[in-house]
Chains A and B, each alone.
Chain A
């Protein structure tokens, strides 16, 4: 197994097929918990463990997939451009609520993790956890977190938000549907957005604004918020 798995193309193809099957599984069952990325990651990790394959071996092929992450994030500029008009119309309420949501997200996760005795590396990996995975990975790498930990936490948090988000919002008195979907995009990023998309395209569009605006704000603010918090807290 180790022999054939040395080939980069085999690794890339293997990953694509697993992902494709996982995607089909979710479309067929419609269960949010069966998130295709999560399933693919679990299957590949189990596969590597069962056949005793080093991560380094898998990485020889998977780095070619990872390479496309940056250009794909750049391509998010197109959906952002398409939403510009909507953002402009409600600029003040979107910008202020996203800004507060972004800072709340970073400060709360850092404080809780710090109070519970997590190490600096772990705290920094958690800081961008409300942001969509590709952006969170990039932020984590640039502030010195552990990007793989960030990626896993982001995906799990997104599923949690998608499953419970709307109920939590209704229970706490957030009744405006636009506020609900914006908040879903802010806290549960792409997975929360796909949940909003299921309800209606207008909800989905609002969530995607939350997702992208929070991504930009967190990328810009996270290093400074962490620096400021470092004055009072010793990580």
Chain B
């Protein structure tokens, strides 16, 4: 069990060190996540070594951002002063992203498929 904790916190610590010593503007946790994926991929870490702790952490993940959400109480005045801009930008952009991502992916798959079927005919 302690090995599992060591691996997760080890990856995070490496991320923290990288952020501290370089000018990378990536969150340390993202670096840790990519590092963990890499170590699993090259086989230095076995999936079984981190399965328990990662199932637990990923399964309870939403709970850990409750405090960040509650802290919004500190910014009520600021948010109220640009509420309309926030709402329009957030919803508007979400609709745009949905359509653009879906459309591009669908288009690329169609191109892929038609080039593949052409290759079959040839």
Interface residues, chain A, with chain B CB atoms under 8 Å away: 15-16, 19, 36-38, 40-41, 44-45, 48-49, 55, 58-59, 62-63, 65-66, 68-81, 84, 92-94, 96-98, 100-101, 104-105, 108-110, 112-113, 116-119, 121-122, 126, 129-130, 133-135, 137-139, 141-143, 146-149, 151-153, 155-157, 160-161, 165, 168-169, 172-176, 178-180, 182-184, 186-188, 190, 210, 215-216, 219-220, 223
* CA of A71 to CA of B70, assembled, Å: 20
Whether B82 pairs with A117 at a CB distance below 8 angstroms is: yes
Residue in A122, A157, A160, A216 whose Cβ sees the most chain B Cβ within 10 Å: A122
Specify which of A65, A76, A139 is in contact with B63 (CB 8 Å cutoff): A65
Q: What is the total number of residues of chain B having a CB less than 8 Å from a CB of chain A?
A: 71
Select B89's contact among A93, A126, A147, beta carbons within 8 Å.
A126
Specify which chain B residues have a CB less than 8 angstroms from the CB of A104 in the assembled complex.
96-97, 100-101
Closest A residue to B84 using CB positions: A116
Which one of A45, A65, A92, A180 lies within 8 Å of B73 (CB-CB)? A45
11 A-B contact pairs sorted by A residue (CB < 8 Å): A70-B29, A74-B15, A80-B33, A97-B108, A130-B93, A134-B65, A135-B27, A168-B98, A174-B106, A183-B105, A187-B101
Taken together as a complex, chains A and B put the C-alpha atoms of A134 and B12 apart, in Å, by: 14
B109 adjacent to A74 (CB under 8 Å): no
When distances are taken between beta carbons in the complex, the residues of chain A under 8 Å from B99 are 168-169, 172, 174, 183
**5 closest A-B pairs by CB:** A77-B36, A101-B101, A138-B27, A183-B102, A174-B102
Main secondary structure of the interface of A (DSSP, over half): helix
Query: Would you call the interface of chain B mostly helix, strand, loop, or mixed?
Result: helix
B48 to chain A, nearest CB (A): 11
Shortest beta-carbon distance from A54 to chain B in Å:
10
Question: Which residues on A sit within 8 Å (CB–CB) of B122?
Answer: none
Known A37-B65, A65-B63, A117-B82; judge A135-B30 contact (CB<8 A): yes
Q: Is the Cβ of A175 less than 8 Å from the Cβ of B93? A: no
Q: Is the CB of A74 within 8 A of B36?
A: yes
Residues of A within 8 A of B26 (CB): 142, 219-220
Q: Which residues of A contact B63 (CB under 8 A)?
A: 15-16, 19, 37, 65
A74-B36, A81-B37 are contacts. A169–B98 as well, Cβ < 8 Å? yes
